[in-house]
Amino acid sequence: MPSASSRSSRRSGPRRPDLKRLRAALPPSAGAVLDDYERHLALERGLSAHTVRAYLGDVVSLLAFLRGVDLETAPDEVPDAALDGLDVAELRAWLAAQHADGVSRTTLSRRAASARTFTAWAHRTGRLAADPGARLVAPRPHRVLPAVLRPDQADDMMRAAAAGAAEQDAVALRDRAVLELLYATGVRVSELCGLDTGDVEFGRRVVRVLGKGAKERMVPFGTPAAEAVRAWLDAGRPALAGPAAADALFLGVRGGRLDPRTVRRVVHDAVGSVPGAADLGPHGLRHSAATHLLEGGADLRSVQELLGHATLATTQLYTHVTVERLKAIHDRAHPRAR
């Protein structure tokens, strides 16, 4: 029988090296390029800290491969060259090496997109004479249909949250408001945690959300979410507010802005209390909201606007979710399905 450690290794997949140490091992010229690219991603493109880290991690991996750097390489063994020799053949070799290490097609596709973004920037800023990423073709990722709650399961979760909040405990009031607003709006967890009290307009029942790329959008919410957020503001938030609260809509137990990790725990615990429900996090509630909107008759373009997707292609994944669910229902219910 395989050991617990080997089973865990297979579940987690190939392990990436310590990218912070790997970045430090790169030659100074490569480090300077990475510093400039980081500023470009954060300041010019306005990407979130999480997205910036992901882009940089991929580029650190690419440049380390290009220069033959690993954590055992002595600094004086690395030529001080940043992008010399970076061409499409090197990009393909970098992806091939990861494929040989067992990296999934989906991850390879994402890393290829990161490389293309980087080489386009390097060419545009004069660091590369040509853009090798423009000729890079990556494997198409497998589209995995996201797990979602059924509408009745979402109702069960919200009823349990409301029952917990009935005792007027501050944390329970917050958790109910978090769950209601996530499901009502389909916002990302980072967007939810970034909300301020002034972003909620109860009169029009909309919330102002700052999404990816610092793009602002207005997202409506219904009466249950309005009631839950109002109860939190009236009876819960004052009990938790500390010196670091400022204008944050949702607070942690220490009185500062709510952390996304806490939201993930809240959602996992809430979904886990619903019999038969898939194990979901905040993004699962986002998937559920989109799926239920489409099943209720919303058009794809409106759902794209609500979710803040840059392209309609991303939103179209949810049409596949609804089709798969319809097929499953047909297979169970129709006498001639089999």
Q: What are phi and psi of 185, to 5 degrees?
A: -105, -25
pLDDT of residue 333: 65
CA distances from 52 to 41, 66, 314 (A): 6, 21, 20
User: What is the DSSP annotation of 88-155?
Assistant: HHHHHHHHHHHHHTT--HHHHHHHHHHHHHHHHHHHHTTSSSS-GGGG---PPPP-PPPP---HHHHH
**Phi and psi for 57 in degrees, rounded to 5?**
-60, -40
Query: Of 37, 55, 183, 318, which one is the catalytic site residue?
Result: 318
Report how far residue 80's alpha carbon sits from residue 76's, in angstroms, rounded to the nearest whole number.
9
pLDDT band at 8 (very low <50, low <70, confident <90, very high): very low
334 catalytic residue (yes or no): no
Average pLDDT over residues 113-123: 94
pLDDT, residue 319, reads 63
Give the dihedral sign, CA 89/94/98/101.
positive
pLDDT digits (tens, 9 = 90+) for 231-264: 999 999 999 998 999 999 999 999 999 999 999 9
Which residue from 19, 69, 307 is spatially nearest to 191, judged by alpha carbons?
Answer: 307
Active site residue 309: yes
Length of the chain in terms of residues written = 338
pTM: 0.62
DSSP code per residue over 161-175: HHHHHTT--HHHHHH
Q: How far apart are CA 211 and CA 318, in angstroms?
A: 20
**Candidate list 53, 127, 283, 325, residue with the active-site label:** 283
pLDDT digits (tens, 9 = 90+) for 257-291: 999 999 999 999 999 999 999 888 998 898 888 88
Q: In this structure, what token pair is assigned to residue 181?
A: 């607003």
- From the list 176, 188, 287, 292, the catalytic residue is 188
What are the tokens at 186? 């389909």
Catalytic (active site) residue 212: yes
Pick the catalytic residue from 176, 286, 287, 292.
286
Per DSSP (E only), the strands in 144-273 are: 200-201, 206-210, 216-220
Q: Pick the residue with more confidence: 297 or 285?
A: 285
Catalytic, out of 212, 217, 264, 325: 212
Which structure tokens are listed for 229?
A: 């957020």
In angstroms, what CA-CA distances link 236 with 79, 197, 198? 59, 13, 17
- Structural domains of the chain ordered from first start: 15-135 (1.10.150.130), 151-279 (1.10.443.10)
- Helix, strand and coil content of the chain, in percent to the nearest 5, comes to 60, 5, 35
Phi, psi dihedrals of residue 257, rounded to the nearest 5°: -60, 140
C-beta separation of 288 from 148 below 8 A: yes
Q: Mark whether 330 is an active-site residue.
A: no
